[in-house]
Structure 1
């Protein structure tokens, strides 16, 4: 039946409305000779809901699954029996070693009159016997008075506690005077005998001017007798006690595990290793009774002693014990199997997410069967650095699925290391590692300084940064990069960005009145909203020299292989990037500046929208393109082999393209233009492009495109700007600086292995071309000997 109760105490107005289902015990009258029979969770909660019966006597007659308490009272869970200084529990409760499993209590940030937490809040003159609590999950919050927390009871005064146990986790976030223990928070003039706890204990706050004591079994002991007890849970707190946090009393024949707790001192008891704690002789030597009271085996209770006759849930009892990063994308989690349940575990592992209470439908591991208790390691993979994860262990046996406690774990962040140098022109910052590069990204005050890159940088780990969005671009709309970065020809490879909600994505986001030179970005993988490029999202009023990119770029608009939007002077640059999106180009998406002596390769693929401004070199051009070429393959409606759309006032001079062009209403050189005659001496290959028409330019056969006089007759400069040798660039003209560097990149094909080809011409004087292929980006040294 459903009951609603209103409780008012004369010492203050305290209202409590009980809306959970309560069922009176089916037997007993609460006397010592005929105690109430507690057979289920509804009976147990009947005790809570009837404080007038807190002086009565109870026996538990069956195992109780309390897992549903996690959903009670809007997530606050269980209401303790007994209220400190108002109405104590003064009766008796004999659990008869039946378990109460998965009791949940969360009063975090709840400023209320309740300040003692556990199955019982506070007991006085009570007798608690044979109570077996498994997999408790208790979190206590702030209180403006003393707070005591324990799985069994927050505090015990003049009481008798025998043959009781607890497993699970207790988190105490109170920063006033507080005492917490795995079994009991605080005892006063009480007797505790033959009890244990393996609860993990975590204390969040610590202020030295408050007295806050934590103990594996009891937080604070005052004038009490403790005998034949132990604790073995992990304790995370400042200056805790392995068994007893603080106090005075008589403590005999009692122990704690110094290894699992991580604590070497205690206000009482004797510390032992895990092996010693799982050895029956440790306890027999101190007179423990293993005939009628205690038992030990390698199946239950993690191999520690347990109470003879104690029942365990049919499901496995497991704990999510600890986690630590092993790299920026992996972590190890220790899973503790406390009990296999009533059959062997046939599958176990961990599950995790970013929001809380993970289940096996989230990311998980599958680590196979378990036939014995103990600690097992499970590995999280493909996780993000510097990110908060919620983790739970899980296990299956023939009875079903069970979960361990939730562990909140923050992965390691990639270190930002300040570079050497002062950032001046004479003493620039030296960027030699990804950690230096991250420092540069994190420190906006440095964005007007000078930088030199002095080594190749592998940025693969950026894939796991910032919750999976990757690299944070240098320079934004509030703080633009206005300095100088000289890559000195070193490589930054595997740069990763996946942030489709934000624009200005690239190694640099927005640069203005800056110098970028000799920067090589390879195998980039960048996906953004708009203004997306491997080098920069938007480059304004700057100079960009000898920069290079390969990889994949995607943006909704203004996406380019090197720069998304350009209003700067761009010279001797190239791109082998595959670009996708709208208003896109193999080198520059939207050009409002000058692009000179540069080229593009790779595939440029639009989203098939009419007049989409997709070009092999530039998507939308409203300024100048001089002495450039494109070998990019272009596919989009209204695309162009070199430029997608040539706007008013723009000009293209002495440039050509020979990549394949496909899509409705496309042009061999230019897809669309606003005014005629916006190109001078420009050509496209009608055979390789597959198109014999263009908005501007002259279409030629492949043979004509590979004939020197085609270009010299048009007035092209083959002394300083262009060169042609019949081999380089597939026989088409190439830029003279390409032979000056001695390197030409061909990104249309991915070689399977290293190969060195015959030079041409041979013999030679003074210039020859040597072709080679490598299967991936790497440093290459080519030596030429005079024989």
Structure 2
């Protein structure tokens, strides 16, 4: 009995000493959810790097760290991933230098697997080089979660290279990256490749260079979801180069935008370079887009069986063929025809475009149109407009360069037109197609003839009855429909799509201005004002919060 008691006592003492020794490896904590290991010093970080058995534990950063001069290795690798929780606690880690040009899964955290979480951490002065799956913070995020993280610096590699994450199939929320990112394929300012991943409220402001699939935010987005994200900066590549996403395959991009300069050879877009089966809704792009080949657009370079709804683009686009103010090349099947240059859509084959607009300066060679360069094979266009200038050589029109066996309904154009042969105010050439209830401005376009449509004066184009008499669905009438697709400030503006009109634009002319401010002021602090449109925040009163919302739209120039 004595020996047995002594043995038990010895074991307990050993376990106590072992536990104390393990805790002593860090600045405190036990690695449990309610008592995470405390990372307070560079020595603590070095311990974390060298102790894979702890990579499923909980950690909290309790001070800023400077890793200058420290030989770093990624936390988490293949086969031993990081599956724990790392809370940056709002602190910053500086001088993160990792040079592993022949390695995969390279980042401060190399491999974050399922259940792994990283939050509230910033990295500054990052210099990371790897081969594949290379990111400023995480090389490969496989079903992990990143929240409120950022990285500033330079990241380079070959395949799946991102300013924050190299390859992501997890979730990123409120994250950003700035600096430079370079690689060969799937290169993005924030994420190199987003495979079934989700990005919410994220952005990148970067200089991105890659050969194929290079994007200001994401290089390749395969069945991933992007919501409320944006990108600024410069993107340069060869093919599938986009201001936000280089290559979008069956992915969803909603309420996103880019203000960027993008250049390359083919499939170059201000928002998405190549959109294959993807869905874009309520997105826009502003910038300068340059392409030396085909499929160059202010919003999307090439749209293949994708869907684009309630989107717009402004700026300038220049390319050789299939160049458009919204989409360069739009198709739903194989195309063996010569590419075309357009203002809104390059080549629309068996596709449908609705409720979109473009105000881009576009130049090309043949089949150049303010809305569509060549519309063919049962394609349909409805409720769209183009207001940018169009210039080309042959088959040039304010709305369509040429229309082949397709239907165009309730569309208009106002831009100036310059060309050499087969020029039309609305359509350059029409072949077995139907153009229904469409108009162009004979004064601003400089052309009184067209292969289809009806020419009107500027005054007539700003008159509601011109369009309602032709069956257009306008606000305030039900005879032509109840969807209220169009609205117009008669005598001062052309028709606009109702989705593009800001909630503070109550009075004519178009745009939020002093006349709208006067409207808001007359309901200020009046009890019954909650029943008016001046109650922007819907709290049954017109007060400070409504004024702030009004000013926000005014300052945005809407």
Q: 1:562, CA displacement in angstroms?
A: 2.2
Look up the match of 2:299: 535
Q: Give the 5 Å matches for 1:588-667.
A: 588-592=345-349, 593-607=351-365, 612-622=366-376, 623-637=379-393, 638-647=395-404, 649-664=405-420, 665-667=422-424
Q: For 1:76-155, list aligned pairs within 5 A.
A: none
TM-score under structure 2 length normalisation: 0.50
Q: Could you say if the C-alpha distance between residues 661 and 767 of structure 1 is closer, same or farther in structure 2, counting changes exceeding 3 Å?
A: farther
2:268 to 505, 521, 539: 505
Indicate the residue corresponding to 2:232 in structure 1. Answer: 458
Aligned: 1:448 with 2:222: yes
Indicate which of 481, 486, 492 corresponds to 2:248: 481
RMSD: 4.7
Alignment map for 1:568-583 (pairs within 5 Å): 583=340
* Aligned with 2:500 (options 738, 741, 763): 738
Aligned-residue offset at 1:548: 2.9
Gaps of 5+ in 1: 1-325, 329-383, 388-410, 570-580, 745-753, 769-778
Larger radius of gyration: 1
Does the CA contact (< 8 Å) of 1:475 and 1:481 recur in 2?
A: no
SS of 2:288 mapped into structure 1: strand
Contact 2:324 2:362 in 1 (8 A): no
1:724 counterpart = 2:478: no
Q: Secondary structure at the match of 2:320?
A: strand
Higher relative contact order at CA 8 Å, sep ≥6: structure 1 or structure 2?
2
Deviation at residue 755 of structure 1 after TM alignment: 10
Q: Of the candidates 436, 441, 451, which is equivalent to residue 695 of structure 1?
A: 451
Query: What is the alpha-carbon distance in structure 1 between the residues aligned to residue 252 and residue 461 of structure 2?
Result: 38
- In the TM superposition, what whole-angstrom CA distance separates every residue of 1:358-411 from its partner, at most 9, and x where no partner exists? xxxxxxxxxxxxxxxxxxxxxxxxxx9969xxxxxxxxxxxxxxxxxxxxxxx9
| 1:666-685 alignment runs, 5 A limit | 666-675=423-432, 678-685=434-441
Would you say the 8 A contact 1:482–1:511 is kept in 2? yes
Q: CA deviation at 1:525?
A: 2.8
Task: Quote the offset at 1:590 in angstroms.
Answer: 1.2
Written as runs of structure 1 = structure 2, the 5 A alignment for 1:175-190 is none
> TM-score, normalization: structure 1?
0.37
CA distance in 1, matches of 2:220, 2:193: 12
Residues 533 and 559 in structure 1, CA contact (< 8 A), matched pair in contact too: yes
Contact 2:367 2:401 in 1 (8 A): yes
Q: Using the alignment, how far apart are the partners of 1:441 and 1:587 within structure 2?
A: 23
* SS across alignment from 1:737: helix
1:493 is matched with 259
Counterpart in the other structure of 1:154: none
Shift of 1:641: 0.9
- State the Cα distance separating 1:696 from its structure 2 match: 0.8
C-alpha distance in structure 1 between counterparts of 2:194 and 2:180, whole Å: 28
Determine helix, strand or coil for the equivalent of 2:305: strand
Q: Residues 761 and 633 of structure 1: is their aligned pair in 2 closer, same or farther, counting only changes over 3 Å?
A: farther
User: Displacement, 1:683?
Assistant: 1.3
Mapped to 2, the partners of 1:734 and 1:416 lie a distance apart of 35
- Counterpart contact for 1:475–1:511, Cα < 8 Å: no
Q: Aligned residue pairs: how many?
A: 333
Structure 2 distance, partners of 1:732, 1:550, is 17
Q: Distance in 2 between matches of 1:634 and 1:505?
A: 19
**Gap runs ≥5 in structure 2:** 1-124, 128-153, 158-178, 476-483, 524-530, 535-549
Q: Secondary structure at the match of 1:781?
A: helix
* Inter-partner Cα distance in structure 2 for 1:558 and 1:422: 28
Q: CA deviation at 1:703?
A: 2.2
- Please state how far the C-alpha of 1:488 moved relative to its aligned partner: 2.4
Q: Secondary structure at the match of 2:474?
A: coil
C-alpha deviation, 1:625, in angstroms: 1.0
Per-residue deviation, 1:781? 1.5
- 2:318 aligns with one of 548, 554, 558: 554
Report deviation, 1:421: 12
| Matched-pair contact (CA < 8 Å) for 2:425–2:441 | yes
Query: Whole-Å Cα distance in 1 between the matches of residues 243 and 493 of structure 2?
Result: 39
Residues 15-30 of structure 1: matches in 2 within 5 Å? none
Higher strand proportion: 2
Write the distance in 2 (CA, Å) between the matches of 1:742 and 1:733.
18
- For 2:454 and 2:343, how far apart are their aligned partners in 1? 21
CA drift of 1:556 comes to 1.5
Inter-partner Cα distance in structure 2 for 1:525 and 1:422: 24
Q: Distance in 2 between matches of 1:692 and 1:736?
A: 29
| CA displacement 1:135-155 (0-9 Å, x = unmatched) | xxxxxxxxxxxxxxxxxxxxx
> Cα distance, 1:496 vs. partner?
2.0
Q: Answer whether contact 1:584 1:613 (CA < 8 A) is retained.
A: yes
Is the Cα contact below 8 Å between 1:534 and 1:549 reproduced in 2? yes
**Aligned with 1:710: secondary structure?**
helix
Q: For 1:3-22, what aligned pairs fall within 5 Å after superposition?
A: none
